[in-house]
Amino acid sequence: MPEGDSLHRAALRLRPLVGRRVSANSPHPRGLATGVAAAVDGRVLESVEAVGKHLLLRFEGGVTVWSHLRLSGRWRVGPAGSTGAGRPWLVLRAGGLEATQWSGPVLALDERPVRRLGPDLLAEATEPALLVARLRRAEPGRPLGEVLQDQRFVAGIGNRWMSEALWAVRVSPWLLVGEASDEQLLEALGWARDAMRAAVVGARPQRAVYRRARRPCRRCGTPIVSRGQGADNRTAYWCPRCQGP
C-alpha cells in the first residue's frame, strides 16, 4: 500500500495545477458515479495536500476532493493528451497538463475521514516529540509496530516504513508500546520521517528488512522473519537477533 511518502510525491506532481482553473471529466463509470468531476469542473484548484496516506484537493468555493489509493489507485500527471488507453476515474486538465486518477478506489467529495487522522508525519509543522505524547495514548499492551501504523496517532506510516525504522533503531515491532522508552519512540519516528522525506524527493534507500523474509540481516546475518500484526494483519519484518525476539 502506498505510504505517506508516495502521497507526498503525488501532491508534488499535482502542484503545477494549483492556482489554475481546471476542466474535469470522468471517463470511468465508477468515477462518474462519485460526482467529483461535475463538482470541480471549471473551478480553480486552490491547494493539494497529502495527509498521511490521503490526498486532499481543495477547489474554490469550498469544494474538497478526498483521494485514498489503498492498494490499487494511482495518480499520473503529464502533458495534456498524454493519457493513453484506459478509463481513469478522474481527469483534470489545466495549463497544458493533464492529471489522471486511476482505479479510485476512494474518490469523494468528503474530507471528514481525514479529520480523524493524527498529524501527518511529514508535515513541516509536525514535531516528532509531540507525536511521542500521542503514541502514549495507545493501550500500553499493544505492540509498537501496530501502534506506529495506527493512523489516529500518527498519519503516514505503513508496514514498510514501520519495519525499516524499527530495524534501523534496533527495536522489535513486538515490543509493547507501554514498555518502549520515549527515546526509542522518538528515534523511530525521527528515522521514519527523515527516510520518508528523502523518498519524497526521489531517494531509493536499500531495504533492510521489508519483504526480505528468510534473507540475511544486513547487520548480523541472521535470517529476517515476518509475521502478520494487528487487526489488519499487516506483515511486520524484523531481525530476531538485533531487534530482540
Residue showing cell 485514498: 68
Position 166 contacts Zn ion (CB under 5 A): no
219 binds Zn ion (CB under 5 A): yes
For residue 223, is the peptide bond before it cis, meaning its omega torsion is within 30 degrees of 0? no
The Cα 5–Cα 241 span in angstroms is: 29
Q: Is 239 near Zn ion (CB under 5 A)?
A: yes
Interacting span for Zn ion (CB under 5 A) from 12-20, 29-37, 142-150, 221-229? 221-229
When asked if residue 80 is in the footprint of Zn ion (CB under 5 A), the reply is no
C-beta of 3: minimal distance to Zn ion in Å?
Answer: 23
Q: Is 217 in the site for Zn ion (CB under 5 A)?
A: yes
User: Least Å distance between CB 217 and Zn ion?
Assistant: 3
Under rule CB under 5 A, how many of the chain's residues touch Zn ion?
A: 7
Rounded Cα distance, 213 and 217, in Å: 9
Nearest to 160 by CA among 27, 6, 50, 46: 6
Q: Is 243 exposed, middle or buried (0-12, 13-18, 19+ CB in 10 A)?
A: buried
Non-local (6+) Cβ contacts of 119 within 8 A are 125, 126, 130, 131, 134, 154, 155
Q: Which grid coordinates belong to 99? A: 492529471
Residue numbers annotated as active site: 2-3, 53, 234
C-alpha cell at 219: 547487520
The binder of Zn ion chosen from 82, 181, 220, 227 (CB under 5 A):
220
Which is closer to Zn ion, CB of 69 or CB of 208?
208
Q: Is 242 in the site for Zn ion (CB under 5 A)?
A: yes
What letter would DSSP give residue 202? Answer: T
Answer yes or no: are the C-beta atoms of 70 and 6 closer than 8 Å.
Answer: no
Q: Which is nearer to Zn ion, 76 or 170 (CB)?
A: 170
**215 lines the binding site for Zn ion (CB under 5 A):** no
Among the listed ranges 5-13, 88-96, 186-194, 232-240, the one in contact with Zn ion (CB under 5 A) is: 232-240
Query: Where along the sequence are the contacts to Zn ion (CB under 5 A)?
Result: 217, 219-220, 222, 239, 241-242
